[in-house]
Amino acid sequence: MKNILLLGATGSIGDSVLDVISQNQDKLNLIGISINSNVSKAKKIIQKFNPSHLYIEDSNSFNAFEKQPELKLYNNKKGLEDIINLSEIDIIVSAISGFAGLESTYISSRTGKTILLANKESIVAGGDFILSEAKKFNTTILPIDSEHNAIFQCLPPDQDIQDVKKVTITASGGPFLNSDLSELQKVTKEQALSHPNWSMGSKISIDSATLVNKCLELIEAKYLFNLDEKYFELVVHPQSIIHSIVTYLDGSSICQLSNPDMRVPIAHALSGKNRLPLDFNALDFSSLNLSFQEFPKDRMQIQNLAREVCNVGGLSGVIFNAANEIAVDNFLKGQIKFTEIYDVIFRTFDISIMSNEMSLDAINQMDIETRIKAEKVVKSIA
């Protein structure tokens, strides 16, 4: 039996993880969960899965939560450290959205346990730092972002990374796949949130619509697989069936296929020697019509900025991530237009000063400073 701590249990990834657990109760046990403030959903999860530990980030929600005899409650920084370090935990799922997930991913990286990583923003912002902590403490990081899980499945553990010629990360293209950027000035929040293939939280849905999600994934992949950015190509694949492709020096290209369903990469990362059985719709290959197209030319500027982040390293990922989070937040609040999300990122980058200092404090400080700069850029636009 593997004991699982699910960070971000009330989110979209949380739902998928809980479904995989419920289909494999003889092998997987939910021992603890963390939430921000969605107490009503947390109560339903507790009723169904009976975890014995609950972390609540939001202090008002924590104070208002009625005590229960079999449930230990946690809040604040010390509580987060305590729940993550519980000795009975085998696997920590990092599924909080945004930079807010960095602290718990960092604490988890120092436990020597296994992390299932969905929270790409923590790797974009703290890549080298978090991965070197994980190495120091013998912590295993298994990606559950579908593209990275696909790459992981296509790269056998004993394969020499030098045998890789290129890695192709696929992008669905999001809801505005065949629209020019110039046509997207007036798109509404509802249009941007309605992804054709995946059902996800609001932040990543907007990232998918801008294709910034693919840029974050490029940076995430560069760190996780320790490959230079020039090995990665981003290609649009509207059906979201092939999740990524590894091409070797001898001309073989290996890919992973599945329906767009996050339970598939999650089940893979939760399995040991044997695959976990899942109730799923098998692909009907004779009816599949798979296609690929170039990454849109009018969104190359943002891809190039992500490539610059990969090459510059240091805290440049913190700037990229924080500028994007502020831009997305302001778009969702109706303060800026969809297309202005890119302007906020570029202009915040232009007025930021890079730093190579790598520590949790330096990352947090750069995040705070960048958010202030990005909000000023938003004000100058809005």
List residues binding Mg ion (CB under 5 A). Answer: 145-147
CB 325, min distance to ligand NDP, A: 11
119 binds, options ligand NDP, Mg ion, none, Cβ within 5 to 8 A by partner type: ligand NDP
Tokens at 258, concatenated:
């599945």
Q: Which is nearer to ligand NDP, 99 or 347 (CB)?
A: 99
Tokens at 370, concatenated:
């960048």
Helix (H, G, I), strand (E, B) or coil at 81: helix
How many CA atoms does the CB half-sphere of 322 hold within 13 Å? Answer: 25
Q: Which is nearer to ligand NDP, 95 or 319 (CB)?
A: 95
Q: Give the amino acid at 101.
A: G
Helix (H, G, I), strand (E, B) or coil at 149: helix
CB 185, min distance to ligand NDP, A: 26
CB 295, min distance to Mg ion, A: 15
Angle (deg, nearest 10), helices 146-154 and 212-225: 40
- Among 7, 216, 194, 214, residue whose Cα is nearest residue 97: 7
CB 230, min distance to Mg ion, A: 21
- Among 255, 236, 235, 237, residue whose Cα is nearest residue 245: 255
8 binds, options Mg ion, ligand NDP, none, Cβ within 5 to 8 A by partner type: ligand NDP
* Cβ-proximal residue to ligand NDP, closest one: 11
The CA angle 213-104-214, to the nearest 5 degrees, is 10
Question: Is the CB of residue 147 less than 8 Å from the CB of residue 217?
Answer: yes
35 binds, options ligand NDP, Mg ion, none, Cβ within 5 to 8 A by partner type: ligand NDP
Q: Which is nearer to Mg ion, 147 or 340 (CB)?
A: 147
CB 213, min distance to Mg ion, A: 6
* Cβ-proximal residue to Mg ion, closest one: 145
- Among 253, 242, 281, residue whose Cα is nearest residue 147: 242
What are the residues binding ligand NDP (CB under 6 A)?
Answer: 8-14, 35-38, 57, 95-97, 100-101, 118-121, 145, 198, 200-201, 204, 262
14 binds, options Mg ion, ligand NDP, none, Cβ within 5 to 8 A by partner type: ligand NDP
Q: Which is nearer to Mg ion, 32 or 175 (CB)?
A: 175
Q: Which is nearer to ligand NDP, 146 or 168 (CB)?
A: 146
Q: Which is nearer to ligand NDP, 329 or 340 (CB)?
A: 329
CA distance 72 to 67: 8
Helices (H), the chain: 12-22, 39-49, 59-64, 76-84, 102-109, 120-136, 146-154, 189-193, 202-210, 212-225, 263-270, 300-312, 316-332, 340-350, 360-381
Q: Which is nearer to Mg ion, 42 or 117 (CB)?
A: 117
CB 125, min distance to ligand NDP, A: 11
305 binds, options ligand NDP, Mg ion, none, Cβ within 5 to 8 A by partner type: none
57 binds, options ligand NDP, Mg ion, none, Cβ within 5 to 8 A by partner type: ligand NDP
Cα 333 from chain centre = 22
CB 91, min distance to Mg ion, A: 20
